[in-house]
Amino acid sequence: MGPSPTFDQFGTSPTPDRGGKRSNPDSRLHITPLHFFFQLRVPIERKLKLAQVHKQSKAKRKKLFISRVLAMATNTQDQQSQAGRHQEVGHKSLLQSDALYQYILETSVYPREPEPMKELRELTAKHPWLILPIVDLIGMSGNRNLMTTSADEGQFLNMLLKLINAKNTMEIGVYTGYSLLATALAIPDDGKILAMDVNRENYELGLPVIQKAGVAHKIDFKEGPALPVLDQLVEDEKNHGSFDFIFVDADKDNYLNYHKRLIELVKVGGLIGYDNTLWNGSVVAPPDAPLRKYVRYYRDFVMELNKALAVDPRIEICMLPVGDGITLCRRVK
């Protein structure tokens, strides 16, 4: 027998939640990655000697902090490196063969990727987010472009929306807007997207690309938790069954709370897509597998969602191994 499997052997790097922070009483208390960051704050500050640079400008201090933490993260990544790991920026595929995934990208994804989506994907990959080096240090991943939709999943969403002739859509969890842009390019010129995320700054990074693509007028972006917005929509019966397609890539521990509301808002025959439903393959990891804290915590919520969707008589479902797993739910009643 070989060594005990690590979580990475069951899939690829975990994807941090992109939006929809809890604010509803039926939500559970949870520990976010930021809690791990604050647990590490004192030793990190000591190692980086932040006290010596407090007199510098905010920009210089941030740049210095990032560069030093990146160096520390590199050392951590070297210790956690694994044979055959795909080095493609933004790689989030459950395929165990890196060569096969690269073949898919180079043969059918990148040659057909719209120029605005390519520009936004590359822009997102280069942006030095402060939290992502910390994510590396706490053992979540060695990949810094974690929260964006993978290129192959973006292509899938774009094709799907065209096939169902979607016009009125919703997205919970936006990040820099890669999947949002895929949607905006697919729906007609008078189509609409209600987009929600707790961080507008991330969205504004990609907004110039979205504007240049000529689709910004289709997007109604709302900053803040998604549950209060959904509750308001559900209260007004005219919104019931008004959405053709809804995509959720947000806080996994709220997925069931979202589903309770979204099933009222999507039309009969419409689709809801839940991202990360295979959760890096950890859903089949043995109980004693050494999963990272972040993956282990949210795995239970993902598995709970999967079980609930499987027996929900109001929907037909299809779970696809695209990206980190996406489950499509077609409302039938």
Reported pTM: 0.72
Phi-psi category of residue 14: left, alpha or beta, with phi > 0 → left and psi -120 to 50 → alpha: beta
Q: What is the DSSP code (8-state) at residue 199? A: -
Predicted confidence at residue 57, as pLDDT, reads 52
CA dist list (Å): 217 to 139, 181, 251, 333: 39, 12, 27, 32
Predicted confidence at residue 13, as pLDDT, reads 44
Burial of 174-189, coded b for 16+ CB within 10 Å and e otherwise, reads bbbbbbbbbbbbbbee
Alpha-carbon gap, residue 153 to 275, rounded angstroms: 10
Residues 6+ apart with CB under 8 A from 218: 184, 187, 189, 191, 192, 193
Predicted confidence at residue 291, as pLDDT, reads 87
Question: What is the token pair recorded at 103?
Answer: 């073949």
Predicted confidence at residue 142, as pLDDT, reads 41
Name the class of domain 1-333: alpha beta
Predicted confidence at residue 20, as pLDDT, reads 52
Q: Which residues of the chain fall below pLDDT 50?
A: 2-16, 21-31, 33-51, 53-55, 61, 65-66, 68-91, 130-134, 136-144
The string of pLDDT tens digits covering residues 31-72 is 454 444 444 444 444 444 444 544 455 555 455 544 544 444
Predicted confidence at residue 70, as pLDDT, reads 45
